[in-house]
Amino acid sequence: MFVSGLDIGYGYTKAVSGEKNTIFPSVIGDAPEIAYHSDLVSSRGHCTKYTVDSKSWFVGDDALLQSKQQVSPFARERVDSETLDVLLCAALNALGVGSGEQVVLVTGLPVSWYTDRPRLAKRLLGHKLFQVDGEWRHFHVHDVAVVPQPFGAFFRSILGPAGHIVNSLLARGRVAVVDVGMYTTDYALSDGLTYVEKGSGSIPLAMSSVYDLMAREIKQQWGLEMSPHQVDRACRSGEIRIRGQSHAVQQLLESALDQVWDSLQGKAFELWGDGLDLDAVVVAGGGAAYFGSRLEAMYPQVTRANGNGDPGLANCEGFYRYAVRKFGSYGKLP
């Protein structure tokens, strides 16, 4: 049995199984034949082609680089789209799922769309047949659990790698979770392991809003059009290059973060007030690296879901730990 935590986000697809993880942009695109492959640049020398239902696709960075028509799992229809099938196959293939293997998954949905979970589970379950560079592979998704997205980070905070509760104090406590993703920010509240609906919610503002504001400013200042993924990369490297010249983006980033933060903190305050009754505020998601210090100033009891690990993977790591617990007996899986 292959156990995995899977997080197909708007921005990035993340998957974890055991010590392995994969993260790539949630983008698929047409897969044209590439006439020239460089032997010198191995990481870009070959693009992996996935074929699902007779259609061929590049996935993630390969699609961003080579595909003219790119598709992302935007909006709510993502739970029913073929994009989801391709990203699922690519993610589990990257983790090394064996051909013919039985798979169990835990995944998440934004809090405000949580009612879509039966549709998502139905889409993920069953036999998956696909080709990787022309070679047939298949696996069977035997069972799926769908949890509210931020609960991945919560599980990451309270469960150990084998699915044990390792932090009883936090599990018993009143704990808020903020998950700043690419297109949504999710908020959840757990009180002694009871999900509190009135303390949970989502807003359609997150890192893409920051990147949009920055892209607008970059276009205005330098005339360069950039996609959210390109701005994301510029933020990670701290610079954009225009006609060979490097320009720092920190100031643009801080200004955009300030603008989006107003809405993010407004929602947190609406749900949890000044947080005096909260034992901890767990932060996760790719945006945690950018908004973490602002959240800490608002709620001093802020804790990072996976410590110094990549906050973008925290939910997925939690999904995996919960999957080990739910679908096996502390790792002793059938």
Among the listed residues 48, 56, 265, 303, the single contact to other proteins using CB under 8 A: 303
Q: With binding defined as CB under 8 A, does residue 188 bind other proteins? A: no
Residues 1-20: x where in contact with other proteins by CB under 8 A, - otherwise, as a string:
--------------------
Given the rule CB under 8 A, which of 29-37, 85-93, 225-233, 303-311 is the region that contacts other proteins?
303-311
**Contact between 71 and other proteins (CB under 8 A)?**
no
CB-based contact 104:143 (threshold 8 Å): yes
- Give yes or no for a contact between 123 and 6, defined as CB atoms under 8 angstroms apart: no
Select the residue interacting with other proteins from 51, 111, 325, 327 (CB under 8 A): 325
- Choices 10-18, 33-41, 133-141, 170-178; region in contact with other proteins by CB under 8 A: 170-178
Q: How far apart are alpha carbons 90 and 17 in whole angstroms?
A: 14
End-to-end CA distance of the chain: 6
**Between 128 and 325, CB nearer to other proteins:** 325
Q: Which of 43, 69, 168, 220 binds other proteins (CB under 8 A)?
A: 168
* Contact criterion met (CB below 8 Å) for 202 and 185: yes
Cβ contact 313:333 at 8 Å: no
Q: Which is nearer to other proteins, 68 or 332 (CB)?
A: 332
Among 309, 310, 328, 333, binds other proteins (CB under 8 A): 309
Burial 240-263 (b: 16+ CB within 10 A, else e): beeeeeeeebeebbeebbeebbee
Burial of residue 181, with CB atoms counted within 10 A of its CB: 0-12 exposed, 13-18 middle, 19 or more buried: buried
Among the listed residues 96, 118, 161, 273, the single contact to other proteins using CB under 8 A: 161
Binding to other proteins by residue 194, rule CB under 8 A?
Answer: yes
Question: Contact between 165 and other proteins (CB under 8 A)?
Answer: yes
